[in-house]
Structure 1
Amino acid sequence: MPTPRTELVELRGAWGLSQEELAALAGISVSTLGRWERGETKNPTPNLKALLSKALKIESAKELVEVLRPTGSGFAVNNAGVADAGATPNAQVAVSVGNADDLGRVHAVVPRLRRVLDAFDLPEDGPTRPLGEIRADVVRANEHRLEARYGVLADELPGLLTELARASQLVVGEEQRQQVASLRALAFRAADGLAFKFGYLDLSARLIDLMRQSAAAADDSLLVAASEYVRTENFFANGDLFTGGRALVKAANAVALSNRDLPDVAAAYGSLHMRAAVVVGRIGDGRAATDHLREARRAAERAPEGVYHGTAFGPHSIRIHELAVAAELQDPAGVERASAWQPPMELPAERRSHYYIDLGRAQLALGRYDDAHGSIEMARIAAPQHAREHPQVRSTVGALLQLRPGHSRVVELAAWAGARAV
């Protein structure tokens, strides 16, 4: 019986690629890639290996061997490129591609990030590129954050922040000063993507404060709104959801003074209401959550799905937040409505993973244990590094482990996520 190449599937997912996208990058047919992933064919020929390595940014022959090794981690890949949780189980623990190494890189970089921030006004001497080149790296860093490529992001952040510190000292004129401040704000946001998700809450709070200061210095009202969106992490961390909700409403009202017919403005306004819906949903205020979602939908009529100042917003993102609200309110009808849809591949991997994490915990609460397990598997495929570190994944899988002791696929998932029976 064919043994799936799970690590190949997960690496494709980590880069946010569909089978069609990876096949196009590697110059092969989708059916050929599907047979490789399902383990129905032997390893690719040397020339095809080279194309695959380039498409997946694999740097060594050893890493390629690991990626192409049949692993059979408890789920297979069907012809549509989707994981089937009902495949032949394997009791061995299969770690997602690069996770052990990537997670180590993230934790190792945190002391370096702290040192860079401590000396931000006293940067080391070194080259400083034109702002256009730095801007391209800041954009790429936030793409890594949105696609949950945390190991790659960890590698790039210290040098990028150090160069931005130097650039901040070298600016000439108000226009350049605002440009560098804008880049700083977005770079601090990318760094917060690591700090918050990996539990460094003090560092996260510091980065959020620096982002807010930089956004104000940039004199960019939409960047200020984005920083207020991110600031909600502080309120989630300290449990002060009422203040978090008020902060979001205040920020949304400030955006409302602008021209909301412009897509960027509508997205800033709508994203604040989208996040406020989840905050008040967690408090248990269903009526307020409905009102916030209504405002977000109105804004989405003027803002197509996209990434605005580092935040994904649009009709698809709202549907993901509708599910999050239903999960917070433990609303079975809302969960059913939201789960009748699946997030498209063009959405950032982190956001798709969030959808399946929320769906899994909602299905668990409804007693649909097999569905809950399948949803967490889908979250792992969408963004393995994101799912593995998410506390709701651990709590959901821990509950499944308690409810299904000895279930081989649940045991494997629990070992991968570091979850314990609850």
Structure 2
Amino acid sequence: MAALGYGGVGRRIAYYRRLRRMTQEQLAQAACVALGTIRKIERGERGVSDVTLEAIAAALSLDPPQLRTDRGPAHTPVHEALPALSAVIATYDVPEDGPTRPLPELYAAVREAADWRLSAQYTRIARKMPDLLAELARAYHAAAPEQRAELAGLLVRAYRSADAVAYKFGARDLSARLIDLMRWAAPEAGDPLLTASVAYVRTETFFAARAHAAGLRALEQALDAAPAPSSRHEVAARGALHMRAAVIAGRARDASAAVTHLEEAQALAERIPEDVYRGTAFGPDSVRIHEVSVAVSLGDEHVGRALDVAREWKPPADLPAERRSGFYIELARAQLWSGIPDDAFESLKVARRIAPQHTREHPWVREDASTLRRLKRADSETLSNFAEWCSAN
């Protein structure tokens, strides 16, 4: 395990600690690091290992590279792990030999990765997923016929967690390949609800290509094929597809379709509690977040609706972090467009506190931080630090 020399690391830790209005003791407690260690690091009397740096960065709601002197978005642990992820999916049908754990342990590993995705812990996914995907591929190809459906379902779920990293960190070709693998494995699982969740995720390829009308058609086809909404999971699967369709219809500037799909999602959300179904959060709170997203996607006179929602409601703390941070990112854009840039900056800071990795890699955050910097409407030092953090121009 490498240890970093002091350089600017200790000074950066002290700077961000003061910015967060934390004492050294509070930082030590939050990072589970000895108080004496924190003091020596800040004074430059000792180096800091990668593990300790990650713990301190997490306590400060930062990515570890921000505390390094050689930090930069191209050198984050996630970016460094992408080649290994690409290599393992290239061999999905001819995996390397190696051990495989029993099926219950594989289920637990896949659930853990899904939890990391929902809480926007992308570094953990990037580090663990190549080995897990290789192991699942070995298990699938060696399995008896009666076990293949279960393993195919696990592969779909694991590919989805890996795709979250690829898509959020701008590796769009890798994301598209992972989605193709989800579409390959889903029929093998024989689970129509899993197939619906793959259709939900596939929309990323249409967002990336700005092929919004085509994406809407694909989602409407998926809705036609989805099971009737009888059980809770069936209701959630259909509702999630309607949520996604509402957003992409908004991007296509099809207000009528956006409103129709949003209303369908709202009606379905009234029938079940907020929860995570087949890997997708759905319920009344998720639909309200998507109402903001639809308003921002439609733009113009619709943006005011996003501000109305935010005045009346905030996402509860028990919603997945990725979804909550997304709400504040969308809200910031609506506030910026509405001429209240100080509020927009506050929303971006809230998004960062909730899910720093998700916020830092979001292209809208970089765009809006650049705009805010030009407007110079917030405290210049704080805004400059934020813009530097998210690599805004």
Q: Which TM-score band applies after superposition, normalised by the shorter structure? A: 0.7 to 0.9
Aligned length: 358
Q: Which residue of 2 aligns with 1:144?
A: 116
Of residues 260, 264, 289, the one that matches 1:320 is 289
Question: Partner amino acid for 1:170?
Answer: A
Contact 2:53–2:64 (Cα < 8 Å) also in 1: no
Q: 1:122 to 1:376 in 2, by over 3 A?
A: same
How far apart are the structure 1 equivalents of 2:364 and 2:31? 39
Cα RMSD, aligned residues only:
2.8
Q: Which residue of 1 aligns with 2:135?
A: 163
Of residues 28, 32, 39, the one that matches 2:22 is 39
Structure 2 unaligned spans of 5+:
1-12, 36-48
Q: 1:65 to 1:326 in 2, by over 3 A?
A: closer
Contact 1:262–1:302 (Cα < 8 Å) also in 2: no
1:252-298 Cα offsets, whole Å, 9 max, x none, are: 1211xx34121100000000000111111112222221110111011
How far apart are the structure 2 equivalents of 1:361 and 1:290? 20
What's the CA shift for 1:419?
0.6
Q: Which residue of 1 aligns with 2:384?
A: 411
Percent identical: 44
Q: TM (normalized to structure 2)?
A: 0.84
What pairs with 1:71-150 in structure 2 (closer than 5 Å)? 96-100=62-66, 104-150=76-122
Structure 1 unaligned spans of 5+:
11-36, 53-57, 72-94
Contact 1:99–1:384 (Cα < 8 Å) also in 2: no
Q: Which residue of 1 aligns with 2:271?
A: 302
Comparing both structures, which one devotes a greater share of its residues to helix?
Answer: 2
How far apart are the structure 2 equivalents of 1:143 and 1:124? 27
The question of 1:361 aligning with 2:333 is answered: yes
How far apart are the structure 1 equivalents of 2:85 and 2:30? 40
Question: Partner amino acid for 1:417?
Answer: C
Q: Which residue of 2 aligns with 1:334?
A: 305
Q: Which residue of 1 aligns with 2:235?
A: 266
1:29-88 Cα offsets, whole Å, 9 max, x none, are: xxxxxxxx7436845899994799xxxxx99556556677xx8xxxxxxxxxxxxxxxxx
What pairs with 1:9-20 in structure 2 (closer than 5 Å)? none
What's the CA shift for 1:137?
0.6
Q: 1:163 to 1:295 in 2, by over 3 A?
A: same
Contact 2:167–2:175 (Cα < 8 Å) also in 1: yes
1:203-247 Cα offsets, whole Å, 9 max, x none, are: 111100100111111111000000000110111111111110011
Question: Partner amino acid for 1:197?
Answer: K
Secondary structure of 2:249's match?
helix
Question: Partner amino acid for 1:410?
Answer: L
How far apart are the structure 2 equivalents of 1:353 and 1:404? 24
Question: Partner amino acid for 1:397?
Answer: A
How far apart are the structure 1 equivalents of 2:392 and 2:63? 19
Q: TM (normalized to structure 1)?
A: 0.78
